[in-house]
Structure 1
Amino acid sequence: MNRRDFFKASSACVLPVMIDGFGMKALARDSVLVQSLLQTTAANTDRVLVIIYLNGGNDGLNMVLPLDQYPAYTTLRSNIAIPQASALTLTGNDTTGLHPAMTGLQSLYNDGKLSIVHSVSYPNPDQSHYRATDIWMTAVDSTQTSDSGWAGRYLEDRFPGYPTGYPNTNMEDPLAIQIGYLTSTALLGSQGSMGIAISNPDSFYQLVGAASATSPGDLPCCDAGDLISFIRQQQALSVGYAGEIKKAADAGKNLATYPTSGTNSLADQLKIVSRLIHGGLKTKIYFVSLGGFDTHSGQVDTTDNTKGAHATLLAKLSDGIALFQQDLKLQGIEDKVIGMTFSEFGRRANSNNSKGTDHGVAAPMFVFGSGVKHSTIGTNPNLSDLSGTGTNKDIKMQIDFRRVYNDILNDWFGAGQSKTDTLLFRNFPTVSLFSNMVESVTSGDWTDKNTWTVGRMPFPNEFVRICPGHTVTVGQSVTMRNLKLDGKLKFAGNYKVKLTG
């Protein structure tokens, strides 16, 4: 294994800091560990992104329930279907419900702080855990690969020259922090990880000894000595971050009441994140995870489909996010933070004979925070129009996941469209996550979901813009909050447009 491959796979440095029982371990590939950790002064704005990875392939059809297609839903998965009477209803949305374990996210949705992005995937999807995860983390097509992650590329571009000259008075904190044992591919820059991970520091000290033992004379020759020298360098650089992180942890305070430590691992992680943000840490991106979603069998309880392994996971997800959002609100900082969930793929539309679901394709994402502007992006999956045959039926993609990344980079972080296109390797249309305006993306019919950025017909309470060069055909009377007409409306009859202001 050469030096570059070693750091790509597993290089790590440890920060001698403990927060809520977690130690601080910084991961690096090549020499970018230092790069990400040192570039942390929240460049042009103080906005923060929290990424929640649902490891294993989440069953979206058991999480976001198509109330408008329940007969088809129960036919596809009769042995695991959630009873319609148990589904949690959503304000202003009589077609969609949530799993009964997700009362926290129900409240966030009803408060306008949760956006459901339906049927997210990418063309020619892969159903291998490893490859699918890599695609989501790097934001490439299924026929391409990349050595860097989508978030890492953003951080590397925003803080050029890292690690040279970092940390400094303008950038004292880590660029990204992952709560876990390793930093994910999503945080990789071109030379290495742009983030640090919280873990046990003992393994690092056992490997390289005390930080002061850096004399070249105590190192073996060649590659082995080079690797140990590099790890020691990263440790020395990371010590500065340990101090900043500890200072933020001491200054920050959790104001929400989280569950007992160890009962909800996601809540434990988000508790640390909110405390660090409240304490003034200027880290741009936090990465947390919840595992166990590869539910091939035993997904539901033997006697009650509303309970079981998946219900437990969904409760942890819902409770963790809801408490985190409550904490941010009580701290007075919720406007600066948004979060998103993702999983490497969804599950099949039909269940299997083991009360589980197998690897599928599209699934919903959640984007949460006070900054989201639309409650839903896309529509419930069409259960009468599935890909595959027999018992291998998959939900078709509506929204490419990179359209969500586009809005986070361009609109939330303000990278600019040209720069965002470069970071994602090409242009992806907005889904208007952070814009009040629903815009046309092409000429078409008003009722055609493909006409609009939000992947559905505009709601009566939304602002609408017909973009230049687009002609939208109106075949019914429509209501909206306001209309910006930079293109054309074509009426197919004596129909009216009502503006509510």
Structure 2
Amino acid sequence: MKRRQFIQSVPVAIGGMSVTSYASTPMLSALTSALYDTDRVLVIVQMSGGNDGLNMVFPLDQYDTLLSHRSNLLMAQDKILSLSGTNGKTGIHPAMNRFNELWDEKKLSIVQSVGYPSFSFSHFRATDIWMSASDSKEFLNSGWAGRYLNYEYPNYPVGFPNPTLPDPLAIRIGGSVGLGLQNMGVNMGISINNTNDLLNLTGSIYKDQATSDFKGKELLYVREVQRQTDKFGDSVSAGAMKGKNLSTLYPTGSAPGASLSNALKIVAKLISGGLKTRIYWVSTGGFDTHSNQVSTTDKTTGNHANLLKGVSDSIHAFLDDCKLLGVEDRVAGMTFSEFGRRIKTNASIGTDHGGGQPMFLFGKKIVPGLVGKNPTIDPAATVNSNIPMQYDFRSVYASILQDWFCVPKDDLENVLLKNFQALPLFDPSGCIPTDVHDQNNKAGENLIYAYPNPFTTTTKIKIETKGDHTSVQIFNNEGILVKTLYDGILEAGKYDLPCDLEDAPAGTYYARIQNGKLQQVKPIMKMR
């Protein structure tokens, strides 16, 4: 990046304050909150390594057959927690007792035997398939969540962040952003490690003052370039400071799930802090259990039990936090792993890479219960036998997009690239209105701005309207209407409206355009 290009990319400063800093002001929030308060959040929990679904959700109606294939690993039937409402046919690992509580509270759904045709047993390739929503022989350079965010915010990253949408579209907690949140090579989100990481949040890691000579100026330039790589740092940092955690149930220290809990605590804190981020992505590893999956003295315990307990306890605590913070109506989540495990165990008290797996959906607004039947356990299964697929994993994605994020059915193919059936995972009745989607599509476009800005007495308010009724108003920083510049019918196009504030006191004002169901608000500054 050249210096001139860099300078041009820096947010315009008004009275010593960057434009983006207005995004968190109460006045601007009040003018725009009606459009964004209905936005929903998806939390994706990635269980890396390939989870053994048959040692997590048990087909109790076929216990004896399963035991014949897993005698060195399967726990006694009376140790398994039977899920209420399944007539004793389906159970869950006793280490996931917190998930059993969520099940009884109707905040948990299980989708049985999820997969895709022609499984890949490579960790890397299978992960790419799940992240990109591709066929097994198809290679895509975009992720399903990234394509959704591009569908919702097609102007990104141009014009982002902006006063209306100052927050990241997606946040990955730990690790890189990853293919799932990319669109055509563009990261549609950011990655942070923790809310105390100054490098990842604001870039304010430099304790030594730069010298005033040429070398110091060069150093300042390099530091500013680094700072601009995280344009959303101020927003995330402000959200973290404003947000909080109220649940006391999170695992800590050396308890299973402590690391996952730390990530989910950040998610809850940022949601409660007011971020309008749509997707949060967290992960927990260790599920590649080729050996020593269970304890030889107690098959209810061991490595896999600890992993499952960590997932169960962490998500339960997260939902408890969301409830206490008053945001649970806006939050839903899903789990996935890159593949399941084989039906038969190996000689090392472990399981090898397999096919179908159960997925969890969690939250107050999911449709609770089982989706699908227990997987069929073939009595003649061999070491190469896998759980057959009941549901394509992209049907789960289709359900999330259609009934949680309210993507119209006719538009699903734009995101998933093919048609997939939606499953009854969410109640679609509470979908955000279509005008919110229309507003998101305009995010990043300048529908209204002032030039010059700042100004002393008069300025021009430049607007773009798609036609029909258009209203342009000026508010002061207390929310009082100061002036209506236009209120009537306009043909589609761009217009300049004179704005005379000669008699108004100096300070910050807000110019708002309302065009049909679209609206946009921008700060303007009158100087003395």
Q: Normalization by structure 2: what TM-score?
A: 0.68
| Partner deviation per Cα, 1:72-106 (whole Å, 9 max, x = no partner) | 11111000002111111212112111001001100
Aligned to 2:266: 272
Aligned to 1:78: 71
Q: How does 1:206-221 map to 2 (within 5 A)?
A: none
Q: How does 1:196-211 map to 2 (within 5 A)?
A: 196-199=190-193
Q: 1:43 to 1:403 in 2, by over 3 A?
A: farther
Distance 1:198 1:165 in 2: 22
Q: 1:231 to 1:310 in 2, by over 3 A?
A: farther
Q: 1:165 to 1:405 in 2, by over 3 A?
A: same
Aligned to 2:342: 348
Aligned to 2:414: 422
Question: Are residue 335 (structure 1) and residue 326 (structure 2) matched?
Answer: no
- Highest Rg: 1 or 2? 2
Aligned to 2:119: 125
Kindly provide the amino acid, as one letter, of the partner of residue 402 in structure 2.
N
Q: Identify which of 41, 53, 60 aligns with 2:53.
A: 60
Question: Are residue 255 (structure 1) and residue 242 (structure 2) matched?
Answer: no
SS at structure 2 position matched to 1:391: coil
Distance 1:46 1:231 in 2: 35
Q: Identify which of 383, 396, 401 aligns with 2:377.
A: 383
Distance 1:421 1:160 in 2: 16
| Partner deviation per Cα, 1:305-327 (whole Å, 9 max, x = no partner) | 10000000000000001001111
Shift of 1:384: 2.4
SS at structure 1 position matched to 2:313: helix
| Partner deviation per Cα, 1:385-410 (whole Å, 9 max, x = no partner) | 78xx5222111000100000001111
Distance 1:102 1:144 in 2: 36
Q: Identify which of 151, 157, 173 aligns with 2:151.
A: 157
Aligned to 1:434: 426
SS at structure 1 position matched to 2:183: coil
- Identity over the aligned pairs, expressed in percent? 48
Shift of 1:246: 1.7
| Partner deviation per Cα, 1:12-61 (whole Å, 9 max, x = no partner) | xxxxxxxxxxxxxxxxxxxxxxxxxxxxx996841000000000000000
Distance 1:311 1:54 in 2: 14
Kindly provide the amino acid, as one letter, of the partner of residue 76 in structure 2.
P
| Partner deviation per Cα, 1:423-470 (whole Å, 9 max, x = no partner) | 101110111111389xxxxxxxxxxxxxxxxxxxxxxxxxxxxxxxxx
Q: Identify which of 400, 403, 414 aligns with 2:395.
A: 403
SS at structure 1 position matched to 2:47: strand
Aligned to 1:326: 320
Kindly provide the amino acid, as one letter, of the partner of residue 79 in structure 1.
N
Distance 2:418 2:225 in 1: 36
Distance 1:342 1:56 in 2: 10
Distance 1:276 1:204 in 2: 13
Distance 2:209 2:35 in 1: 31
Aligned to 1:69: 62
Aligned to 2:275: 281
Shift of 1:237: 5.1
Q: How many residues align?
A: 382
1:183–1:197 CA contact under 8 A, matched in 2: yes
Q: 1:345 to 1:274 in 2, by over 3 A?
A: same
Q: Normalization by structure 1: what TM-score?
A: 0.71
| Partner deviation per Cα, 1:347-396 (whole Å, 9 max, x = no partner) | 0011000000000000000000111114111111010278xx52221110
SS at structure 1 position matched to 2:360: strand
Distance 1:435 1:378 in 2: 18
Kindly provide the amino acid, as one letter, of the partner of residue 43 in structure 2.
V
2:403–2:428 CA contact under 8 A, matched in 1: no
1:50–1:338 CA contact under 8 A, matched in 2: yes
2:354–2:386 CA contact under 8 A, matched in 1: yes
Q: 1:230 to 1:44 in 2, by over 3 A?
A: farther
Q: 1:100 to 1:426 in 2, by over 3 A?
A: same
| Partner deviation per Cα, 1:133-166 (whole Å, 9 max, x = no partner) | 0000000111111101000011112112212211
Shift of 1:417: 1.3
Kindly provide the amino acid, as one letter, of the partner of residue 275 in structure 1.
K
Shift of 1:233: 4.7
Distance 2:45 2:201 in 1: 26
| Partner deviation per Cα, 1:464-485 (whole Å, 9 max, x = no partner) | xxxxxxxxxxxxxxxxxxxxxx
1:82–1:99 CA contact under 8 A, matched in 2: no
Q: 1:350 to 1:278 in 2, by over 3 A?
A: same
Q: How does 1:348-367 map to 2 (within 5 A)?
A: 348-367=342-361
SS at structure 1 position matched to 2:42: strand
Shift of 1:242: 1.7
Q: 1:100 to 1:246 in 2, by over 3 A?
A: same
2:336–2:359 CA contact under 8 A, matched in 1: yes
Kindly provide the amino acid, as one letter, of the partner of residue 40 in structure 2.
R
Distance 1:146 1:379 in 2: 32
Kindly provide the amino acid, as one letter, of the partner of residue 62 in structure 1.
N
Question: Are residue 243 (structure 1) and residue 205 (structure 2) matched?
Answer: no
Q: Structure 1 regions of 5+ residues with no counterpart?
A: 4-40, 219-228, 438-501
Shift of 1:302: 1.8
Q: Structure 2 regions of 5+ residues with no counterpart?
A: 2-33, 216-220, 430-528
Kindly provide the amino acid, as one letter, of the partner of residue 261 in structure 2.
A
Q: 1:210 to 1:71 in 2, by over 3 A?
A: same
2:201–2:237 CA contact under 8 A, matched in 1: no
Shift of 1:191: 3.4
